[in-house]
Structures are given as C-alpha cells and as structure tokens.
Amino acid sequence: MSNALTIAANYLFGWTVLTIVLSWLLAGCYPLVSRALAYDRAEHSAFFTLLYGLLAPTAATTALILLSLPALAFPFITDHCHGSSCAPHTLHIATYTAAGIVTVAIAVTLLIGVLTFMSIQLISSRRQLRLLSLLSEAGATAYRVVEGPDHIAWCAGLLRPQVYLSRGLIDSLTTRQVQIILAHELTHAMRKDNLRKWVIHWSTLAWPTLVKAQIRQDLSNYHERICDLAAANINKEQLNTDELINTLIACHGGTRQRANSTGQPLQQRLASFDPVPSLEQNDHLISEVKTMGIITGVWLTAAILALHVGHPLLEWLSQ
C-alpha cells in the first residue's frame, strides 16, 4: 500500500510540475492565437479558445502516460543513466531523500488544495441554486422570477443551469423584449457557458496573471456574442440593432456606453456578430481546419517537449 501511495504521489508531483511549466509556455503563445481567433466566427473562436486553455493539463497527462511506458517514451527523451543502468525506465523520483520527499509533498499538497477548492466551488454553486429556487417562482416559460425592483437577468448553475429574471425587469419590458432577453440567457444555459468558463478558470490557473485574464475575458466575450446573435434572431425581420442594444442594456441598468458583465461594450459586441462577413462557408471551413491543425500541432509539441525535458527535469527536482 505504501509503495502504491508513493507511486501515486510521484505521478501527481510530475503532473503538477509539467502542467505549470507547460502553462507558462503556452500562455506566452496565446496573444498570437488570440489575434488569429478574433477573425473567426464567435462559436468556433469560443471552442478553440477553450481547447487552447486545456492544452497544458492534457499534454501533461499524455506525457505522464507515455513516461509510464518507457519503450514508447524514450525515443523523445535525452539519453541518460542512473548509475550503471542506462536502459529505458520510468520516472526515477528520489522520494528516499529528505529534499525529494519535501518537494513531492509540496507539489502534491498544492494539487490537492486546488482540487479541494474546485469541489468547494461546485458544492457552493449547488447550494446557491437551491437557495435561488426557494426565493423564486416559475415564470411563463423556461425561467424563474425573482422578486425585486432591479433590472437583471442571469443564468446560474454549472451542470444544470437555470435562467432568472427579476420582477422589475419583466415589468419594464414589452413581451418581445422579454423574449429577446430570454433567448440570450437560454442560449447561455443550453450551451452550458458557465461550465465552460469554470473549466477555463481552473485549467489556466497556473498562467501568468495578465494572459490568464485575457483568455478568460476572450472566452466570455465570445459567449456573449453567440448569445447576442441568438437574441437577434427573435423576429429579426422587425428587429433593429438599436432596439437589441437597448433591450440588452436594460439588464444592466446602464447607458449605451456602459460595458456589460463581461467588460465589453454592447455596441462593440453587436457590431461584431460576424467578424468576417465576406467569407464564404468553404472559407470558414478552411480557416477552422487550419486553426485546429495549429492547435493540434501546438499540443503535440507541448507533449513531446514535456517528454524530452520533463523526464530529466522531474528527476532533478526530486533529488
């Protein structure tokens, strides 16, 4: 049992170190990726942004799996020996030394701490939803009404999101305006955007602060643009941009220049429904295939780099 725990601790240590190192490397490349994604359709930009944020933990996981299979991993690892043994081998973590034990213990403690906070956040989210359910009543369609004079609408929950509208907002809007707001928020719920933002929050936890804030903001902005487009499809033959802007602003109680909850002005969001309207469907497809190819190439490079450098790095850190 002790040996099994040691092995588990070694691999948790390895995953933590590799994820942190790869996170910093991939974060350095993100500004270039972000500029490229800005010219794609919002739905696909959101998908690729989320995918990019997951590259570090998934590449670290792949590298560790391969490191447990020396015959496959060693073509990518710099030749080195342990004493007289120079054959392919699994990670040689020196947990028999005081320094090695402390290093592994710190990394494992950090990882367990992050997992604990993730669990607490999930439990807290469920409690908040139960409380909101008690404090609200069912609306006419797929939403719940919260009594109060404020003009707010939001989507809450990760796995089973629910849309809430305040009584003050409903009373201040026409039926069509309520439909516009509902289309926006229900799109968030159907897409599980809260869960996507939760995933990107934790998968980029080790990124440098400024770049971490950028990728989270970019993903949130893409989500808002997608939901704005869904809202614009409500009676779109009779709906103009000004009416859509004013209706969405009503949820935030601001002026036309006020930023929404994502920090992006509503006019800017609505003006960029289709960032490249001149592209044909085939051009969009080619662009998306290229983006997928680039991200796949970056992921493979990260995994191979983790094998090539990670193996000796992890063994050195544990000494």
- Over the Cα atoms of the chain, what is R_g? 24
* Secondary structure string (H, E, C) spanning the chain: CHHHHHHHHHHHHHHHHHHHHHHHHHHHHHHHHHHHHCCCCHHHHHHHHHHHHCHHHHHHHHHHHHHCCHHHHHHHCCCCCECCECCCCCCCCCCCCHHHHHHHHHHHHHHHHHHHHHHHHHHHHHHHHHHHHHHEEECCCCCEEECCCCCCEEEECCCCCEEEEEHHHHHHCCHHHHHHHHHHHHHHHHHCHHHHHHHHHHHCCCCCHHHHHHHHHHHHHHHHHHHHHHHHCCCCCCCCHHHHHHHHHCCCCCCCCCECCCCCEHHHHHCCCCCCCCCCHHHHHHHHHHHHHHHHHHHHHHHHHHHHHHHHHHHHHCC
Beta-carbon count within 10 A of 28 CB: 12
| Confidence at residue 205, expressed as pLDDT on a 0 to 100 scale | 93
Per-residue pLDDT, 211:
96
**163 pairs with which residues across the strands?**
155
Domain boundaries, the chain: 2-317
Please tell me the distance from the alpha carbon of residue 205 to that of residue 43, in angstroms, as a whole number. 24
pLDDT the model gives residue 257: 38
One pLDDT digit (tens) per residue for the chain, 319 residues: 356 666 677 778 888 888 999 999 999 999 999 988 887 788 899 999 999 999 999 999 998 888 888 888 788 877 777 667 777 777 666 666 666 677 777 777 888 888 898 888 888 888 888 888 888 888 767 888 998 888 888 899 888 889 999 898 888 888 888 888 898 999 999 999 999 999 999 999 999 999 999 999 999 999 988 988 888 887 666 666 667 777 777 665 443 333 444 445 555 555 554 444 444 555 667 777 888 888 998 999 998 888 888 777 776 666 6
> According to the model, what pLDDT value does residue 307 have?
83
* pLDDT in the model for residue 113: 87
The pLDDT value given to residue 271 = 54
Cβ partners under 8 Å of residue 308, min gap 6: 76, 77, 78
pLDDT of residue 316: 67
